[in-house]
Structure formats: C-alpha cells, structure tokens
C-alpha cells in the first residue's frame, strides 16, 4: 500500500499541474518583475525531485542539466514549457517506483550524505518537496494573475476525494 505521505505528494503534484492548465508557451516564459518564469519553476521542481528522490536517496542523476540550470540560485532562464513538462514527467516517473516502496521505517531512517554530514530522512525530504510545490503553485498563480489570466483554479482542489487524511 502506498504510504499516505506519498499520496499527499501525488495530490500536490496534480494541483501544481492543475494550476498551469491552459497556460501558453509564451506566457510560461514571461518574467514578471524579479520572479522566475513559470516554465523555469517547472524545471526547478523537477530539479528538486531529482536531487532528493533520485540522487540523495538512490544515487542516480539521470538529468545533470537540472543541477546546472534549475538549482536554487541558478541564473534565471525562460525555457520552453513543453520541454520542462517532459523533463518533469521523466523525473517524477523515475522517482515514483521508489516512492511506492516507502514505509514508516524507511521515511524516518537516517540517510547520511557526504555533502551534508548531518544526514536527512526521506520523510523530511518528502515534506520539503510537498511544501516547495505549494510555494511555487501559489507563485505561478500570482504570475498568471499578473499576466491577466482569469478563471484560475482555486486552492485546494478536491483534496477530500483525491487525498483525504489517512492515518498510518
């Protein structure tokens, strides 16, 4: 059975996608003030999922360009949205089989990492990714509003049906 925290991640991903439904390539590449473009945000979240779920937890780095172009502090870019969705899909699809194996014990186990001797747990990484998605979902909707988009999705979708609280 898939762990409830993984179910929450999947719901969060679906809300991220829902907030960008109908977005044009041109608008996805717009920068509003100092904000990153929405297409960059898609690549940035692919970077974080790869960094945490593939690299830190499994030692895999299938798309090194994410580390070079979409990391925290990387220079601003305005990549094509379709390309970023393809990258995002590739990373999330690669992460999902591992995420399906997570249990309470695996989520709290310490994972030492040579660049951070304090270590980390998969559960903490999962929460960081979920909260990061919500941050950028709100930011992306604000960018869309600034661009004049109307009839945007409202938070928080069908959480009661799609991702209700499940005790573990």
pLDDT of res. 116: 63
pLDDT of res. 139: 96
Which pTM value belongs to this model?
0.93
Instruction: Encode the chain (168 residues) as per-residue pLDDT tens digits.
Output: 899 999 999 999 999 999 999 999 999 999 999 999 999 999 999 999 999 999 999 999 999 999 999 999 999 999 999 999 999 999 999 999 999 999 999 999 887 665 666 668 999 999 999 999 999 999 999 999 999 999 998 878 888 888 888 876
pLDDT of res. 31: 96
- Which residue has 């990061």 as its token pair? 132
Domain annotation for the chain: domains and CATH numbers:
4-159 (1.20.120.450)
pLDDT of res. 155: 72
Nearest to 90 by CA among 58, 123, 63: 63
157 backbone dihedrals φ, ψ, rounded to 5°: 50, -155
Distances (CA, A) of 128 to 23, 48, 77, 154: 26, 9, 23, 22
């Amino acid at each position: 059975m898939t762990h409830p925290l993984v179910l929450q991640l999947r719901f969060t991903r679906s809300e991220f996608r829902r907030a960008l439904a109908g977005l044009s390539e041109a608008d996805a590449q717009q920068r509003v003030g100092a904000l990153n473009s929405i297409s960059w945000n898609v690549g940035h979240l692919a970077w974080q999922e790869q960094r945490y779920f593939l690299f830190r937890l499994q030692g895999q780095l299938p798309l090194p360009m994410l580390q070079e172009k979409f990391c925290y502090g990387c220079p601003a870019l305005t990549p094509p949205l379709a390309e970023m969705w393809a990258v995002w899909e590739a990373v999330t699809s690669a992460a999902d089989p591992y995420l399906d194996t997570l249990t309470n014990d695996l989520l709290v186990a310490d994972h030492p990492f040579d660049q951070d001797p304090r270590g980390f747990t998969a559960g903490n990484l999962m929460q960081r990714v979920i909260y990061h998605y919500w941050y950028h979902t709100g930011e992306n909707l604000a960018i869309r509003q600034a661009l004049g988009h109307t009839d945007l999705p409202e938070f928080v979708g069908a959480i009661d049906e799609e991702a209700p609280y499940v005790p573990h």
